[in-house]
């Protein structure tokens, strides 16, 4: 029988080394996979990881890096706070969708008023929508002991149905010639989330992501609430003894991560996506889980991991265009990344021994 024996000598350096090893292993395994499928592995890896930044078309793809990384980082920094406390919000995708809908609702209701307050109000509405959607699993856990993992995940599918209903029903563009989808907010200046510096891809969501990184770093390392969150994740009884109410912590973590995911949804729908459609959710909420873990639940790590995962999105699309790689390439890469990360993590914390069962 194979047994896992805890290591007593886990080096701190490995904490940083495992994500790097996971990325390299993903490249290697991905290359082998492409070779089996009949593609040139070196070209494929270069197209995904190199060309978006330094290749011939990088002028187009480089700004995309921030566009894709911003929602990932914004969502992941919220998720990481909860994960530190052992509170597992798997439904950021749903909170992202509801945030997008709530924020867009403000804009569509105000249309075509030109006032300055509209965009800030949308941001608040987006955060509130995501917060409310996150509070559902929080309250169900606090009142009935329901697993927040399952409830938050299932609420993603509810949110997707609501998005489809909105796109085909209440939010449908009255001037859209019957096409599904809301008005395009990019064409509504008071409500749009434009590129702030031309050619960088940086919109308000990028600013929000950086603020979120700084704020969660401050929370986790300087504030007593962050201290309590870390304590609750490692030693729940000690946290209770310190005075932490588990119910409060559940509500705080799910509310915070929901609000940040909702804001990410709003920035997306008011900016790069432009409108509410039944395809509002593009998987950022799920990919952000990988970002959080790849970044070791640490703000700086999340910043780097968010940029890397954004790269796989862009590179994957580029590989589809130039090499005819299948569209699932990105998901396969992201899945392998998480798999290798968890695998290497396990190996750094446990030794595998073979032992004959007594």
Where do contacts with other proteins occur on this chain (CB under 8 A)?
Answer: 222-225, 227, 230-231, 234-235, 237-243, 245, 358
Residues 6+ apart with CB under 8 A from 300: 213, 217
Q: How far is CA 249 from CA 128, 152, 181, 230, 316, in A?
A: 18, 16, 38, 11, 38
90 vs 229, beta carbon nearer other proteins = 229
CB of residue 243 to other proteins, shortest distance in Å: 4
Strands 2-6 and 350-354: antiparallel
142 vs 192, beta carbon nearer other proteins = 142
CB of residue 159 to other proteins, shortest distance in Å: 33
Closest CA to 259 of 135, 149, 158, 142: 135
252 vs 284, beta carbon nearer other proteins = 252
CB of residue 240 to other proteins, shortest distance in Å: 5
CB of residue 230 to other proteins, shortest distance in Å: 8
13, 277 Cβ separation under 8 angstroms? no
46 vs 225, beta carbon nearer other proteins = 225
Cα Rg for the chain, rounded, in angstroms?
21
Give the Cβ contact number of residue 5 at 10 Å.
10
CB of residue 347 to other proteins, shortest distance in Å: 20
Q: How far apart, in whole angstroms, are the C-alpha atoms of residue 230 and residue 233?
A: 5
N residues, the chain: 358
11 vs 20, beta carbon nearer other proteins = 11
Closest CA to 201 of 68, 107, 337, 310: 68
CB of residue 23 to other proteins, shortest distance in Å: 27
266, 123 Cβ separation under 8 angstroms? yes
197 vs 234, beta carbon nearer other proteins = 234
165 vs 241, beta carbon nearer other proteins = 241
Closest CA to 170 of 157, 182, 179: 182
CB of residue 223 to other proteins, shortest distance in Å: 5
């Amino acid at each position: 029988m194979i047994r896992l024996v805890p290591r007593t000598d886990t080096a701190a350096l490995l904490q940083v080394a495992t994500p790097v090893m996971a990325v390299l292993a993903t490249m290697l395994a991905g290359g082998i996979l492409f070779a089996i499928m009949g593609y040139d592995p070196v070209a494929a890896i270069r197209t995904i990881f190199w060309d978006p930044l330094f290749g011939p078309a990088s002028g187009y793809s480089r700004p995309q890096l921030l566009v894709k990384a911003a929602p990932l980082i914004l969502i992941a920094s919220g998720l990481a706070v909860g994960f530190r406390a052992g509170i597992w919000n798997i439904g950021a995708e749903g909170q992202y969708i509801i945030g997008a809908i709530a924020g867009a609702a403000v804009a569509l209701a105000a249309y075509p008023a030109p006032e300055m307050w509209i965009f800030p109000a949308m941001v608040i509405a987006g955060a509130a929508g995501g917060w409310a959607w996150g509070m559902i699993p929080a309250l169900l856990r606090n009142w009935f002991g329901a697993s927040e993992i399952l409830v938050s995940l299932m609420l993603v599918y509810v949110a997707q149905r609501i998005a489809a209903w909105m796109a085909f029903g209440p939010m449908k563009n009255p001037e859209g010639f019957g096409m599904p989808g809301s008005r395009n907010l990019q064409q509504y200046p008071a409500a749009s989330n434009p590129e702030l510096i031309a050619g960088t891809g940086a919109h308000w969501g990028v600013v929000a992501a950086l603020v979120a990184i700084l704020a969660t770093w401050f929370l986790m390392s300087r504030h007593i609430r962050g201290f309590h969150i870390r304590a609750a994740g490692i030693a729940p009884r000690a946290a209770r003894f310190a005075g932490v109410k588990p119910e409060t912590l559940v509500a705080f973590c799910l509310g915070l991560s929901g609000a940040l995911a909702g804001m990410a949804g709003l920035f997306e729908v008011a900016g790069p996506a432009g409108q509410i459609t039944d395809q509002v959710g593009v998987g950022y909420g799920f990919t952000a889980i990988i970002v959080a873990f790849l970044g070791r639940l640490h703000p700086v790590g999340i910043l780097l991991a968010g940029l890397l995962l954004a790269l796989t999105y862009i590179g994957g699309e580029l590989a589809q265009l130039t090499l005819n790689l299948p569209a699932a390439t990105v998901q396969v890469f992201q899945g392998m990344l998480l798999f290798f990360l968890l695998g290497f993590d396990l190996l750094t914390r446990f030794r595998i021994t073979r032992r004959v069962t007594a």
